[in-house]
Amino acid sequence: MMSHTPTPNASPIPFHRYGETLTDITYCTPDNAPQAMDIYIPDAGGPWPVLVYVHGGAWMRGDKAEPMMSLFAKGMTAQGYLVASVNYRLYPDAQFPAMIQDVKCAVRFLRAHAAEYNLDPNRVGAVGVSAGGHLVSLLGTTDASAGWDVGEYLDQSSRVQAVIAMAGVTDLSRNFPNADIEAMKRVGFGEYNVVEASPISHVTPDDPPFLLIHGDRDELVPVEQSQVMYDRLIQQNVPAQLVIVQNARHSFTAPGGTTPTLAEINQIILDFLAKYLR
């Protein structure tokens, strides 16, 4: 990873957007369908490492401004991370690989606008939940050779330096108790083979570090999805950490609480980022 330590006499570029939240920033326009992101900017410092947040929703629904987003962003900007929460094309208006094409374009957009947003283009991490976990895992395991880097900013890389996948879908060849995911396997992935669309199929030794978090009582995405991905990453000598949250369902909540707790999970995430994205 390239060093970005400034020279002692370097004059910082004036930046006037500290603490702002920039909403509905168009990052790419695939098939004349503009896709937007929200950017949450820390109060001071920079250039900051970036966290690209990808929402879930079975590739059919969901939004960059989901209820937990502002709380997550506030916590991360306070720790010195710029957060970009992205929307992407959804089924049925689009089929795979539109979703990963959009997320990759979002990463390239951020790198192309690094100076404008005072971010460090060499420290980009990705965080995703459920279907978003699938997409960020594909970000971590594929490069331009996969054929999903299309559209704008092709002079920039879509690779990321760290991946956090929560309740993520990693192996679509397996069965799911969730009807939406099974339906997407039949129609939403179009002509794509579910093996090719699975992050586990693309793991290679040069992949970035992964943090996989999954509830052991997940009723929608079985915990085995993160377990098999972890096993494959370790097999390929990719730095990986698996956190199985006891008593947790897909939402990481439980009437009697979870182990680790949500606060402890947050600390695990911060420790992982401090190790690999700082």
Helices (H) and strands (E) in the chain, counts: 7, 8
Q: By C-alpha distance, which of 45, 47, 28, 46 is closest to 36?
A: 28
Is the pLDDT reported for residue 8 higher than 90?
no
The domain spans of the chain are 21-276
User: Is 15's pLDDT higher than 90?
Assistant: no
> Mind listing the pLDDT tens digit for each residue in 241-259?
999 999 999 999 888 899 9
CATH number of the 21-276 domain: 3.40.50.1820
How does pLDDT run across 48-93, given as a tens digit for each residue? 999 999 999 999 999 999 988 989 999 999 999 999 999 999 999 9
Q: Identify the sign of the CA torsion 46, 39, 181, 179.
A: positive
Average pLDDT (127-143) is 98
For residues 60 and 188, is the Cβ–Cβ distance under 8 A? yes
Q: How many angstroms separate the CA atoms of 70 and 134, rounded? A: 22
Q: Is 183 exposed, middle or buried (0-12, 13-18, 19+ CB in 10 A)?
A: middle
Question: How does pLDDT run across 189-236, given as a tens digit for each residue?
Answer: 877 889 999 999 999 999 999 999 999 999 999 999 999 999 999 999
pLDDT of 5 above 50: no
Residue 10 has a pLDDT of 47
Stretch 102-110: mean pLDDT, rounded? 98
Contact 98, 89 (CB under 8 A): yes
